[in-house]
Each structure stands twice: as structure tokens, then as C-alpha cells.
Amino acid sequence: MESVSATLLMFGLILLITSWVVLLITSFKEDFAWGLTTLFLPPLSYIYGIFAWQKTQAALVMAVMGWVFILFSL
């Protein structure tokens, strides 16, 4: 059972990092200040994602899936 848990945790972390990188690229394209905020304060990038839902929908879905995988791994 530990290998399944570790696999879910790894996929969850990969999804979270990927979603942050996608948000980083999107926020830099939108506004330089939001890009810097996303770069230096990663949790605030998800607040930006909520306000720019049309542009960041895929990244937010990836982040939610990542958290689901992490929660299932516990």
C-alpha cells in the first residue's frame, strides 16, 4: 500500500508544480506585477487564478486534481 500512496503523492506534487508554472506563464502574459507576485509568493497565484478564471481554468483544475491526489495518498 505504501507504493500506491507514494505514487499518488508524486503525481499530486507534479500536478501542483505544473499548475503553478502554467499560472506563472499566464500571469506574466497578463500583467508584470501579477507575474512577479506569482513568482515570489506562489500561494497568491491561485488568488489571481480565481479572478482570471477564463484564462486560468486549466491550471486551477490541475491544482485541484493535485490536491485530491495528495489527500488520497494520506
Which three three-digit cell numbers place residue 23?
499560472
Q: Are 66 and 19 in contact (CB under 8 A)?
A: yes
Euclidean distance between CA atoms 74 and 70, whole angstroms: 7
Angle (CA) 28-31-48 rounded to 5° is 85
Tell me, what's the pLDDT at 66?
A: 93
pTM value? Answer: 0.83
Q: Are 53 and 70 in contact (CB under 8 A)?
A: no
- pLDDT tens-place string over residues 20-73: 899 989 889 888 888 888 889 888 888 888 888 888 899 899 999 999 999 998
